[in-house]
Structure 1
Amino acid sequence: MFDTWKRTRAARRITRGDGHALQRFRWWQLPGRALFYLRRPDADYAVDVRHWQKQGSGGVRAGLYRDGRHCAESKLPAAFGVDGGTIEVAMSGFGIKRCHFVADDGSEHQLSPDPASAEGRRARLDNNHRAASRVIGVASTIILVTGLALLLLQLAEQISAVPPIANSVGIFTSPISLHVWSNIALGFATAIASTERSFRLRYHWLLDGAAN
């Protein structure tokens, strides 16, 4: 959950929308668009994030739509005030990591992804093929844990080689040594794993942050 300070900062980034209509999600937008919905008794909301090539630049913006019309926009992370609470949106270097409605009473739930989006397709896989979905999820976590463990071993080896440390405690030699191509393959695998987790809006600062 956003803390009060972050929510206040995010609120300052909000600008008024221009009233244009929400566009349908098209299949070719899969690599760079996320679309989520929130159905409320008073209105239907949608959050549209076009990250495309700006994902790692810090310039990604989210648009808020009320009943199909653009009513607000904000640079991410965003906190849109709506009737009954706040819609909080944030992303990592691999995709959306948070798109939740936080009610005034503190309860929260994730917005529903558009069925045609990558997040929506992943949710459908989870609903229709639970066993396969769990296997994929566990595999993603194992890949990230493995990548993190190997990274820590390499860092420990490099730090221990610093003369003052080496003279006092000795040089640590990692029991696992990867060739250049193995490191590249591992980096590629961890990126895929974190991307898969982003489709489920799963994020851990250590696992997914280390893969960033």
Structure 2
Amino acid sequence: MFTQKRKYKAGNGRPLKKFRWWQPFSRALFYLPLTNEMGQQMVLAVDVSYWQQFFSNDGKGKAHLYLDGKHYAVSRLPASFPLAGGRIEVASSLFGLKRCHLVTDEGTVQPLIPDPRSAEGRRARLDREHPTLSRWIGVVSLGMVLLPIVFAVPQVIESVTQIPSAAKHFGTFDSPIHLPMWTNIGLGLCAAAGSVERATRLKWNAFLDGSL
């Protein structure tokens, strides 16, 4: 089932822990049911701890791959676990996962199935059961990310052009928007909340959600 070329470390065989009710925003757990060459059913699971990202030296953390409930492999993020005929790609952002997909050699991309108790699983269930509400939430979260950018960019440009070396080469810029610090902090929290919601749908954009 797995290819010989490996860019990850072998697992230790420990059992996969169940997803607990208090873990929606501290852990991601995705599944991929497969059938091997002998027609046997198997289940792969990708487990990522968000807390580990904050305490790791590179700020990225690790992705753990389980095979039928046993720890099979581990890789630093972004991770690529090769399979026969494809690979599982896992990548994280500051706000959650931005990718957890099966990519076949033919180029087909298939998202893995989130654990129903996870934040991603609950968001997916909302999308299935209440698609209209789900779309509106998506629109609101997009606005929560875009609005702070609209207000922040002119202020940032003004601050940068106040630096003597930048002013010498590019001149100065006076922002038409000047907000108090507490408002800018509030907008930052608003953008973070919007990005977290987008991450539960594995939606990510370099401009909107940052480069982390």
| Short-chain TM bin | 0.7 to 0.9
Match of 2:105 in 1: 104
Where does structure 1 differ by over 6 angstroms across 4 or more consecutive aligned residues? none
Structure 1 or 2: larger helix share?
1
- More moved, 157-166 vs 12-21: 157-166
Q: Secondary structure at the match of 1:144?
A: helix
Match of 1:131 in 2: 132
Contact 1:94 1:191 in 2 (8 A): yes
1:15-34 aligned within 5 A: 15-34=9-28
Tell me if structure 2 keeps the 8 A contact 1:143–1:190. yes
2:43 paired with 1:44? yes
- Is the CA contact (8 Å cut-off) linking 2:31 and 2:114 kept in structure 1? yes
3-state SS in 1 of match to 2:32: strand
SS at match of 1:46: strand
Asked if 2 retains the 8 angstrom alpha-carbon contact of 1:44 and 1:66, the reply is yes
Equivalent pair of 1:55/1:95 in contact (CA under 8 Å)? no
**Structure-2 residue corresponding to 1:71:** 72
Q: Hey, what does 1:35 align to over in structure 2?
A: 29
| TM-score, length of structure 1 as denominator length | 0.86
Contact 1:35 1:47 in 2 (8 A): yes
- Go from structure 1 to structure 2 and tell me whether the alpha carbon gap of 1:76 and 1:53 turns closer, same or farther (over 3 Å shift): closer
Cα RMSD after superposing both structures: 2.1
Q: Once the 2 structures are TM-superposed, how far is the Cα of residue 82 of structure 1 from its aligned partner?
A: 1.8
Question: Aligned partner of 2:19: which letter?
Answer: F
Find the residue that maps to 1:35 and give its secondary structure.
Answer: strand
Q: Is the 8 A contact 1:17 1:72 kept in 2?
A: yes
Q: 5+ residue gaps in structure 1?
A: 1-10
Is the partner of 2:154 in helix, strand or coil? helix
Name structure 2 gaps, 5 residues minimum.
Answer: 37-41
Q: Is the 8 A contact 2:53 2:60 kept in 1?
A: yes
1:160-199 deviation digits (Å, cap 9, x = unpaired): 3345665787642222211111011111111111111110
2:15 and 2:179 map into 1 onto residues whose CA distance is: 52
The equivalent of 2:190 in structure 1 is 189
Deviations 1:76-131 (A, max 9, x none): 11000123210000100110110000011111111010000010001111111111
1:13–1:75 CA contact under 8 A, matched in 2? no
Report the counterpart of residue 85 of structure 2 in structure 1.
Answer: 84
Identical aligned pairs, as a percentage? 48
Number of residue pairs aligned between Structure 1 and Structure 2:
201
